[in-house]
Amino acid sequence: MESFGGYTENLKQFNVSNLRVSTSFRSNYFDPDTNCRIDFTQNRVINNIVKINLNYVEICNNFFNIASYNNKYTFIVLTNGVPVVYPDIVPPNYYNTTTLAAYLQETLSDGTGAGATTVVWSETLRRFVINTNDATIKIRFNVSGPPKNFLGNNFLHIIGLDPLGVGYEANDTDTPFPYPPNLTGATSVYIMSDKLCSGKSILNVIGPNDANTSRDIQSQSANEIMSFGITAPYGAYQTYYSQGDDRAEFVYSQGFSLDSLDLKFTDEYGNILETDAKNTPIYLSFKITYQ
């Protein structure tokens, strides 16, 4: 006998199957694993579904900490007080302190008139340190475009500067950034699916014999399946089990057909997670209850 989130009227026996989905079978190979659609072959289509539970998610933490949504900024090179503004877009990738210091040094010094500039990572200070090595050269930083709505989308905040670049000016002495960087990247994953949330869920309905009126009512418009924290180190897989979380349960008042599945994996700021890997698919396991 199945439980339907507190709705206890007219329960009966159902068929149950476990469906394991891999994003390696996405319909368009060129779509990223984190934003794709999987079309099921005819023999895998399941009809008359009354409930879907997410059993677990297996995902690789290989997401960029500098991505297309947090990689833009400007820097200003002042030569004898005369400013020249340079916009920059950092190539999306996963950066550590060594690779990011090397990138910043190359960018700040190449063709800007500040060719002697060095950028190093100080283990003692836990900060990036810039030295222009030229008394006539100073370097400032600024945002690119309007300020971002989340600090995680602000490149200056990520590297250890004020989000607006205020208060920092590198000169011909070792000039550390005011704050430690935040190169952790995404700390949470949110799984979205319009398909699974497209049907009206019986969990939104309080039946005539349902006394549990205080339970969480599932949203009819939200498309979140599950969220969980990233605990694996970069490049490693982790498995998250839903363990009966109500967000991972969908109960349909009318027969639901699962012939395709759209999936989006976002960070805590709503950005679709980015990676260039093509050989680390995301796996999901569903328990399907159907008539």
pLDDT tens digits for 106-119? Answer: 999 999 999 999 99
- Widest Cα–Cα separation across the chain: 82
Nearest to 47 by CA among 5, 15, 80, 82: 15
Residue 206 CA to its chain's centroid (Å): 35
The mean pLDDT value for 114-137 works out to 97
pLDDT tens digits for 5-58? Answer: 444 444 456 888 899 999 999 999 899 999 999 999 877 889 999 889 999 999
Residues 6+ apart with CB under 8 A from 165: 73, 140, 141, 142, 143, 156
CATH of span 15-63+186-290:
2.60.120
- The top-scoring range by mean pLDDT among 36-45, 73-82, 253-262, 270-279 is 73-82
Residues 6+ apart with CB under 8 A from 47: 255, 257, 258, 290
- Asked if residue 92 has pLDDT above 80, the reply is yes
Instruction: State the average pLDDT for the chain.
Output: 87
What's the pLDDT at 251?
82
Q: Where are the domains of the chain?
A: 15-63+186-290, 72-176
- Asked if residue 124 has pLDDT above 60, the reply is yes
Nearest to 256 by CA among 204, 218, 203, 199: 199
Q: Which amino acid is residue 56, in one-letter code?
A: Y
Task: Report DSSP state, residue 258.
Answer: E
Query: What are the structure tokens assigned to 289, written together?
Result: 């209850």
Q: Tell me the pLDDT band of 105, cut-offs 50, 70 and 90.
A: very high
The mean pLDDT value for 96-113 works out to 97
pLDDT tens digits for 170-227? Answer: 999 999 999 999 999 999 999 999 898 876 454 544 444 545 544 444 433 368 888 8
pLDDT tens digits for 237-254? Answer: 999 998 777 778 888 876
Instruction: Assess contact for 73 and 88: CB atoms under 8 A.
Output: yes
The larger pLDDT score, comparing residue 289 to residue 126, is at: 126
CA distances from 11 to 3, 98, 125, 199, 268 (A): 8, 60, 63, 19, 37
Name the pTM for this structure.
Answer: 0.85
22-61: b (≥16 Cβ within 10 Å) or e: ebeebeeeeebbbbbbbebeeeeebeebbbbbbebbebbb
What's the pLDDT at 199?
61
- Asked if residue 78 has pLDDT above 70, the reply is yes
